[in-house]
Amino acid sequence: MNSILSGLLKKRGPIRRIGVVGMGYVGIPSAVLFADLPGIEKVYGFQRASKTSGYKIEMLNCGESPLKGEEPGLEELIGKVVEAGKFACTSDFSKIGECDAVTLAIQTPFRNPKDLEPDFTALFEGLRLVGKNMEQGTLVVLESTITPGTTSGIAREILEKESGMIAGEDFALAHAPERVMVGRLIRNIQEHDRIVGGIDETSTTRATELYSPLLTKGKIIPMTATAAEVTKTAENTFRDLQIAAVNELALYCEAMGINVYDVREGIASLKEEGVTRAILWPGAGVGGHCLTKDTYHLERGVKVLGGPLDYPEGKDSLFVLARNINDFMPKHIFNLTIAGLERAGKTVEGANIALLGWAFTTNSADARNTPSELYRNRMREAKAIVKVHDPWITEYPGVEIEKDLAVVLEGADAIAIFTGHSEYYDLDPVFLKMLMQEKHPVIVDGRNVVDADLFIRNGFVYKGIGRGDKNLHPLQ
């Protein structure tokens, strides 16, 4: 334990005043959960009064949530802590000087994953503001997903430069990655185990003191800051890898003329104590802001910041290959659509395509990095006319999204289902055929939502991910 820092923390006493930098889907729930703790006097939510996000300050101080979508318990909690005077949102970063602990929940997206170069602009800005305003004995915690090596590297350097202090002596520094999922923010923070990684033991201990009171079910898992960064990026890398594995299996099953869902059921049946296959679901691709970038954070950590790596000669990273397979799936849907149109005696040029589902995940309005966009771009390059339907999304930059399914289906030559929204599960082939006015309309099922035999019996040309048993069916 570092004696200088321990002495400073002891003098400061228990954490009572907290600052949270970044009023987003991670910062807001954690700020109000901290504020609701009995031992906490005050929590400041720090938000720059920028054109794009400054509106959040007033909304939050009026007890309203600026987050989209349903977040059970969040708005009531914001109102409660604002009313109690225990939470306030502000753009006055000097108040960081009043805080015993400051957390930063600022994302680091990739400008271009291929060159493994994250965009640290916002994070650096936040770190500079914290460094400039914090006092001795403050605990600083980075919560957003970052490249392994960032906390004890560039983040430490900026904080030390701006504050003139030394990390591990004058202030504590840690990484405690967020593991929240949209729609369950409050519950996730309270119930998930919390990885807490300090640059030294004293920092880990202080960060444990900060997060323990938040946990209702979860427990603290202490480790080093870099191990915490690897844990977070790797937990999503592994999910992406699992999805890629079943996507590759689906492509194999198509080539071998079998049904991947039969195989999946068979594989999933092998389970007993300590034995599992955790096989996921093949699909039209992987979207979202977690799985599409965290692999590249991990790769950057080991490739750019790590030491010499012993790895099979000339072989690509398994994890990056998994990313490539998942990013290939929208192209596979494109290829299935072309094959379907050919079966129906059509070419893609001038074809009317009904793209069903713009959100990246089921029954959600979240379209970040949606695989549908890759498909739409590819179809437009091939001079097809694409109409997009999504019951959950009203707008998306540069894309017209139709809420009325009939409008999108009218006169369409082919349908491509990209998102497993509930309302696509009861598509009626007779109604669709009447709208599409085609003898053999094409349907490409990217999420296994329709009954292949039912559509084939009604004269559709059916193509489905992993449906090698049906994709070459005779026309009826």
Task: Summarize as ranges the residues that interact with ligand SAJ (CB under 6 A).
Answer: 179-181, 235-236, 239, 243, 280-281, 283, 286-288, 290-291, 360-361
> Considering beta carbons, is residue 180 or 432 the nearer one to ligand SAJ?
180
Pick the catalytic residue from 232, 346, 433, 470. Answer: 232
DSSP state string for 264-281: HHHHHT--BTTB------
Least distance to ligand SAJ, CB of residue 198, Å: 21
As to burial, measured by CB atoms within 10 angstroms (0-12 exposed, 13-18 middle, 19+ buried), residue 349 is exposed
Task: Pick the closest to residue 78 from 100, 107, 58 (CA basis).
Answer: 58
Cα→Cα distances 294→26, 107, 234, 357, 440, Å: 16, 11, 7, 24, 42
Least distance to ligand SAJ, CB of residue 96, Å: 26
Contacts of residue 50, Cβ cutoff 8 Å, sequence gap at least 6: none
End-to-end CA distance of the chain, in Å? Answer: 76
Q: Using CB atoms, what's the residue nearest to ligand SAJ?
A: 288
**Residue 373 carries which side chain, given as an amino acid letter?**
E
| Torsions phi, psi for 29 (to 5 deg) | -60, -40
> Considering beta carbons, is residue 195 or 210 the nearer one to ligand SAJ?
195
Say whether 290 is catalytic: yes
Residues 475 and 197: their CA atoms lie apart, in Å, by 60
3-state secondary structure of 20: strand
Least distance to ligand SAJ, CB of residue 333, Å: 12
Long-range contacts of the stretch 4-13 (C-beta < 8 A, 24+) = 4/169, 4/170, 5/137, 5/168, 5/169, 5/170, 5/171, 5/172, 5/200, 5/202, 5/203, 6/202, 8/136, 8/137, 8/170, 9/137, 9/139, 9/172, 9/202, 9/206, 11/137, 12/100, 12/137
> Considering beta carbons, is residue 42 or 179 the nearer one to ligand SAJ?
179
Least distance to ligand SAJ, CB of residue 359, Å: 9
Buried b (16+ CB within 10 A) or exposed e, 372-391: bbbbbebbeebebebbbbbb
Q: Which residues pair with 42 in a beta bridge?
A: 17
Tell me the torsion sign for CA atoms 81, 85, 86, 88: positive
As to burial, measured by CB atoms within 10 angstroms (0-12 exposed, 13-18 middle, 19+ buried), residue 7 is exposed
> Considering beta carbons, is residue 16 or 277 the nearer one to ligand SAJ?
277
Least distance to ligand SAJ, CB of residue 175, Å: 15
- 276: alpha, beta or left? (left if phi > 0; alpha if psi -120 to 50): beta
Least distance to ligand SAJ, CB of residue 193, Å: 12
Beta strand ranges found along 220-327 (DSSP E): 220-224
Least distance to ligand SAJ, CB of residue 169, Å: 33
> Considering beta carbons, is residue 48 or 239 the nearer one to ligand SAJ?
239
As to burial, measured by CB atoms within 10 angstroms (0-12 exposed, 13-18 middle, 19+ buried), residue 41 is middle
Q: Which residues pair with 386 in a beta bridge?
A: 353
Say whether 62 is catalytic: no
Pick the catalytic residue from 89, 290, 293, 433. Answer: 290
Least distance to ligand SAJ, CB of residue 246, Å: 7
Least distance to ligand SAJ, CB of residue 236, Å: 5
Residue whose tokens read 């700020």: 31
Q: List active site positions.
A: 232, 290
